Structure 1
Amino acid sequence: MSDYIVSARKYRPQTFDSVVGQKSITTTLKNAIKNEHLAQAFLFCGSRGVGKTTTARILAKTINCFNRSSEVEACDNCDSCNSFNEGQSLNVYELDAASNNSVEDIRNLIDQVRVAPQLGTHKVYIIDEVHMLTTSAFNAFLKTLEEPPKHAIFILATTEKHKIIPTILSRCQIFDFNRIQVKDIADHLAGIAVKENITADPEALHLIAQKADGALRDALSIFDQIVTFVGNNLTYKAVTENLNVLDYDYYFRIADSAMNEDIASALMLYNDILNKGFDGHQFIVGLSEHMRNLLVCKDLNTLELLEVGESVKEKYRDQANQWDAQMVLRSLGVLSQADVQFKAAKNQRLLVELALMQLCSIKNEFEKKKD
């Protein structure tokens, strides 16, 4: 039997400082432990894969650690930490509300809450996907959540905060987890690549991070998938092929064709893109993103909004210098209109080609207005 462990589990953060992209939340929790100002109920909200359950487990582990460090991190050596690491801690109880959402499940939980911890100071109850509880289950949980025993701490995690009844919200300290920034995900993947002896292009890791859409767990799953596909050398080309993502280079070439007023070149590039199996609508969306990035590069104050690798960023800067900001805005208007009209169009290819012809004519229109 294989000993392979997916990266999302193998490199799951074990300390507050190793949690990616949630510095303000982890700092607040560490200060609460240090100053003994722990609430008895927390609500962790945010999209999938941003570290809600991971942070809940780290908090549960750190609270009961006997030898916490000066940085308020669990020691990983005491009896409490060892039992937690082995999955045998009697002080941490996890409930998946997606499959245990009835009144009976909550009553069983309430019965356990009354029992004091045998090791450590607190019993921590982590309820994942808490929004899946039925209204009756929420109501059964209310009284215990409002007046729990001193040894009990509840950590509720959810991706859909709006589905939780206000009476539950009012009894919790609420922490909203951010979508993780592309740079933070790419840096984390780079660290894992080094540990796994994998050579990875920075642009390849940035592309994986962009595809993950703010979810670190998704990024790690994609990373594992591509390593399985290409081996220990992650190139930008391999990632684009595996994820079926259009290479940046096509957008740069289309923009160059527009600047050179070369309609034939733009149409041939689009034909090549279609022959590779890419969807016309996704091409329009991608080209709009490209033009947006050119506009971002026009001002040093907005340059940090560009979430790409350094070498690609340099290409954007060079191309942005050739474009007037008003021309970029006009291009974005054309592409936005094509995006809106795409699904309703009878001839979708012609719609995209007309948009490309308009892009290639913008420079001429702009120069006439200047004259």
Structure 2
Amino acid sequence: MTDIPGGDAAPYRPEADEPSFLGLAGLPDAPAPYRVLARKYRPQTFADLIGQEAMVRTVSNAFATNRIPQAWMLTGVRGVGKTTTARILARALNYEVPGKVGAPTVEMPELGTHCRAIMESRHIDVLEMDAASHTGVENIRQITDAVRYAPAQARYKVYIIDEVHMLSTAAFNAFLKTLEEPPPHAKFVFATTEIRKVPVTILSRCQRFDLRRVDSATLVAHLDRICRAEDVTAEPDALATIARAAEGSVRDALSLLDQAVAHGAGTVSAEAVRDMLGLADRNQVIDLFEAVMRGDVPRTFAILRSGWEAGADPAQILADLATFTHLVTRMKLAPDAAKDPALTEAERTRGAQFAKALSVRTLSRAWQILSKAVPEVGASQRPLAAAEMALVRLAYAADLPTPDEALRQLQSGQPLSAPRSSPPPASHAIGNGGGGSAALAVASMPAAAPRPEPEGITLRRFEDVVAMAGERREIALKTALEHDVRPVAFEDGRVELSLVEGASPTLPHELGRALNAWTGRRWVVTVSSASGGPTIAEQREARERERRHDALSHPLVQAVLSSFPGAEIVDVRDRGPPPEPEAAAAAPAPDEPETDEL
């Protein structure tokens, strides 16, 4: 027997919760094989599952009331626990402790008779099949032939089919009859990441569970528990960065944590995680956001190049910038977003200050520009240059007026706001939260051009409202008022109307808002149950019919129509007003030549 340096000789024995490995179990002094964290901390019971409380509650109630379906469909993104949940279901269906438990249950405080074999995927009555490599109808035919026989050891035969959407159409069709009327001893558990590719005929025969992404706070707490169990020192910011990068996938988070532990030799720091993932420093992203919002292009270029020289991908920097833009927008519209425990202190404090200083219009435009720039930079052969040009667009477009503001400025005779060519002066200072570093200045977005105060506009009838909508170039509103509104009563400050069938139910609200803006006074627009008068369009059509009737009744027109068979009236136009007498007298007669007076 070979001695281990620094210790006594001892044969290798696998741990109680890990399977034996052929080729290692018989070797003396062989070190225990390392298991990655995603396998070592794989949930064994329903109580171990995190972030799936709704699914666990449904299954618990079904087991308690003996309403167990014949098939489950588990769907969700990668790494949320679909296959693990399928194994736990198989274990719960066949849970048995001699003398204690003899029926399906979700309460599994200790290992049962079949638990270890099921969790290690070696139980004879629990079949796991990967549909990605077994897509043909012959593979399904083997299941349909074997499902008729009773289980050999356990209570139920459980068939777990992973990535079920990879099955062929013929394989799905071969499964339909067995899945609809399986024998009472057979249960099916399907898992897929592409639920839309599964035929509806299969989905209708299953009880579906959508496993949710695990939120960042729950994921950070889970990673912290694992770090304490592994005796690993981890910074909270590092775990928050890993949770964000995992995007709700527990397996991805554990894989990244495994890599970070190896990268830091047992210590997980935020800086090491950023270097490992090729991310920019969060404070650096916030500084970049501040510089580009101020229009400080030189500083923007300097921060971007600094991140690029540190190993960060330009496309990832823009993606992080877009993420921070979204965070600031959420904090502006929903202040409770600042309570997210996954945020760093700098993101929380400085993000809230940016939310107060910037308008929703500016943040929305920044998000649109960055969303289009990220794939462009990723596909560019010169990503750094492409990222710089995207930031230039963002810096110079941040304070451009919107189309409605530009139109308003043109109508009022004001010059259009030009994009800034140099950084504006800081209007107030915002600390960067770095602790001891100098306060950085952020400029408020220049306010839009002041709207001209509405003059003393008086609307005496509903037709004046329609005319005002045309003058204000509210074409959609003008058309709706002409065709969909029957006026009932009208006075200054109050409109009562009824809507024709099929009219937009929001039309009264839109009309009231427009009247408030046009006149500078509050208007009350109500919908009446009365029928109301004819619409503007109906009045116009009635006048047109009357004019045609009057034209047809004219003797001269009747004489023309009788002289020219087949002729018809195409249009009726009013003649212009006759010239005034004074002008007519001053004009010389056309037939009389002008003579010079001798």
The TM-score normalised by the length of structure 2 is 0.57
Structure 1 residue matching 2:51: 3-state secondary structure: coil
Contact map agreement 1:327 1:363 (CA 8 A) in 2: no
CA displacement at 1:288 relative to structure 2: 2.0
Counterpart position of 2:185: 151
Distance 1:370 1:236 in 2: 46
**1:366 counterpart (438, 446, 458):** 446
Counterpart position of 1:185: 219
Q: Name whichever of 97-106 and 278-287 sits farther off.
A: 278-287
What is the 5 A alignment of 1:1-371? 3-67=33-97, 72-85=106-119, 87-257=121-291, 262-298=296-332, 301-303=335-337, 306=340, 308-309=342-343, 312-313=344-345, 315-321=347-353, 323-324=355-356, 326-327=358-359, 329-340=361-372, 343=376, 348=386, 349-356=388-395, 361=424, 363=443, 365-366=445-446, 369=449
Alpha carbons of structure 1 residues 78 and 286: separation in structure 2 relative to 1, 3 Å = closer
Greater Rg by CA: 2
Structure 1 residue matching 2:446: 3-state secondary structure: helix
Alpha carbons of structure 1 residues 363 and 19: separation in structure 2 relative to 1, 3 Å = same
Distance 2:252 2:40 in 1: 14
Alpha carbons of structure 1 residues 76 and 317: separation in structure 2 relative to 1, 3 Å = same
Matching residue's letter, 1:337: I
Structure 2 residue matching 1:308: 3-state secondary structure: coil
Give the structure, 1 or 2, with the largest relative contact order (CA under 8 Å, sep 6 or more).
Answer: 1
* Structure 2: 5+ residue stretches without partners: 1-30, 399-422, 425-441, 452-598
Contact map agreement 1:250 1:269 (CA 8 A) in 2: yes
CA displacement at 1:28 relative to structure 2: 0.8
Q: What whole-Å deviation, never above 9, does each CA across 1:106-151 have from its counterpart, x for those lacking one?
A: 1111122111123342111111111111111111111110110001
The percent of aligned pairs where both chains have the same amino acid is 35
CA displacement at 1:320 relative to structure 2: 2.1
Matching residue's letter, 1:353: V
Contact map agreement 2:94 2:114 (CA 8 A) in 1: yes
Distance 1:101 1:5 in 2: 30
Q: What whole-Å deviation, never above 9, does each CA across 1:41-83 have from its counterpart, x for those lacking one?
A: 1111111111111111101101111245998322433322244
Contact map agreement 1:295 1:320 (CA 8 A) in 2: no
Alpha carbons of structure 1 residues 151 and 329: separation in structure 2 relative to 1, 3 Å = same
Contact map agreement 2:94 2:154 (CA 8 A) in 1: yes
Distance 1:135 1:102 in 2: 9
Structure 2 residue matching 1:227: 3-state secondary structure: helix
Matching residue's letter, 1:363: A
Structure 2 residue matching 1:295: 3-state secondary structure: helix
Q: Name whichever of 127-136 and 354-363 sits farther off.
A: 354-363
Q: Name whichever of 294-303 and 139-148 sits farther off.
A: 294-303
Contact map agreement 1:44 1:176 (CA 8 A) in 2: yes
Contact map agreement 2:125 2:156 (CA 8 A) in 1: yes
Contact map agreement 1:30 1:72 (CA 8 A) in 2: yes
Alpha carbons of structure 1 residues 286 and 330: separation in structure 2 relative to 1, 3 Å = same
Contact map agreement 2:329 2:363 (CA 8 A) in 1: no
CA displacement at 1:241 relative to structure 2: 0.4
Q: What whole-Å deviation, never above 9, does each CA across 1:177-200 have from its counterpart, x for those lacking one?
A: 112212222111111101000011
Structure 2 residue matching 1:296: 3-state secondary structure: helix
* Structure 1: 5+ residue stretches without partners: none
Contact map agreement 1:284 1:338 (CA 8 A) in 2: yes
Alpha carbons of structure 1 residues 369 and 70: separation in structure 2 relative to 1, 3 Å = farther
Distance 1:297 1:272 in 2: 28
Q: Name whichever of 288-297 and 212-221 sits farther off.
A: 288-297
Matching residue's letter, 1:218: D
Distance 1:338 1:41 in 2: 44
* Number of corresponding residues: 369
Contact map agreement 2:291 2:297 (CA 8 A) in 1: yes
Structure 2 residue matching 1:54: 3-state secondary structure: helix
Matching residue's letter, 1:81: C
Contact map agreement 2:156 2:187 (CA 8 A) in 1: yes
Q: Name whichever of 252-261 and 45-54 sits farther off.
A: 252-261
Alpha carbons of structure 1 residues 35 and 369: separation in structure 2 relative to 1, 3 Å = same
Distance 1:240 1:291 in 2: 20
Distance 1:199 1:126 in 2: 38
Matching residue's letter, 2:171: A
Distance 1:273 1:358 in 2: 23
Distance 1:5 1:341 in 2: 41
Q: What whole-Å deviation, never above 9, does each CA across 1:251-282 have from its counterpart, x for those lacking one?
A: 22224445766543333212212323433333
Q: What whole-Å deviation, never above 9, does each CA across 1:278-330 have from its counterpart, x for those lacking one?
A: 33333222212212212323356541684624xx1464234422553643641
Contact map agreement 2:357 2:445 (CA 8 A) in 1: no
Structure 2 residue matching 1:32: 3-state secondary structure: helix
Matching residue's letter, 2:303: L
Distance 1:131 1:370 in 2: 58
CA displacement at 1:7 relative to structure 2: 0.7
Contact map agreement 2:136 2:167 (CA 8 A) in 1: yes
Distance 2:206 2:362 in 1: 48
Alpha carbons of structure 1 residues 82 and 316: separation in structure 2 relative to 1, 3 Å = closer
Contact map agreement 2:127 2:160 (CA 8 A) in 1: yes
